[in-house]
């Protein structure tokens, strides 16, 4: 712990069992998780895989040298960073920095993915609204598009809100 504090790690938590670590991960977000195997209730590779799947935390799994290859086969597909014991401070610090960088990159990709999903949703709703205008108001697709754009500009509201209002009018 002193080593981590010396390297500007601000919030530290520790758990001695996999169950305790899982509960902590549900209650708060971690950027980085270091698992020193074995844990009291499990080895730790299942916990590492769970955390990489369910959180955006970077995960470093520290295992005995003789187990490194077999554990590596189990966790390398999940994105867990594996380090072998005995581990020196420099290697641990480097592993933690790589894991933290991976965590930041993953979070950035998740945010970008959410933004793109929002755009796709908006395009789908606007497309459905244009179809409703074509069907019920007998506009062309271009006229429907222009109608939605003009309403959004005139009312200073996003296109998706105009489209949703149109759908409520004609599809409810």
Q: Which residue, among 45, 68, 60, has the nearest Cα to 100 in the 3D structure? A: 60
Query: Is a pLDDT exceeding 80 seen at residue 172?
Result: no
Max distance between CA atoms of the chain, in angstroms, equals 75
Rounded to 5°, the CA angle 157-114-130 comes to 45
pLDDT tens digits for range 39-97: 999 999 999 999 999 988 999 999 999 999 999 988 989 999 999 999 888 888 899 98
Taken in order 97, 102, 105, 106, the sign of the CA dihedral is: negative
Domain ranges of the chain: 2-87, 115-171
According to CATH, what is the number of the domain 115-171?
1.10.10.10
Q: Which CATH superfamily is domain 2-87 in?
A: Response regulator (3.40.50.2300)
pLDDT tens digits for range 112-138: 999 999 999 999 999 999 999 999 999
Whole-prediction pTM value?
0.70
Cβ atoms within 10 Å, residue 12: 8
Lowest-pLDDT range of 7-11, 20-24, 92-96: 7-11
Those residues whose C-beta lies under 8 Å from the C-beta of residue 74, and which sit 6 or more positions away, are 45, 49
């Amino acid at each position: 712990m002193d080593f981590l504090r010396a390297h500007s790690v601000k919030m530290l938590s520790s758990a001695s069992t996999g169950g305790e670590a899982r509960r902590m991960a549900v209650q708060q977000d971690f950027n980085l998780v270091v698992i020193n195997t074995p844990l009291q209730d499990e080895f730790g590779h299942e916990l590492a895989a769970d955390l990489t799947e369910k959180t955006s935390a970077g995960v470093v799994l520290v295992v005995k040298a003789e187990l490194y290859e077999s554990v590596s086969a189990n966790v390398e597909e999940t994105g867990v960073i594996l380090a072998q014991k005995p581990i020196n401070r420099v290697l641990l610090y480097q592993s933690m920095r790589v894991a933290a960088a991976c965590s930041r990159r993953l979070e950035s990709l998740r945010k970008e993915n959410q933004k793109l999903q929002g755009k796709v949703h908006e395009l789908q709703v606007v497309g459905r609204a244009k179809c409703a205008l074509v069907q019920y108001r007998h506009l062309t697709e271009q006229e429907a598009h222009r109608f939605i754009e003009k309403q959004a500009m005139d009312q200073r509201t996003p296109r998706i809100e105009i489209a949703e209002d149109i759908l409520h009018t004609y599809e409810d």
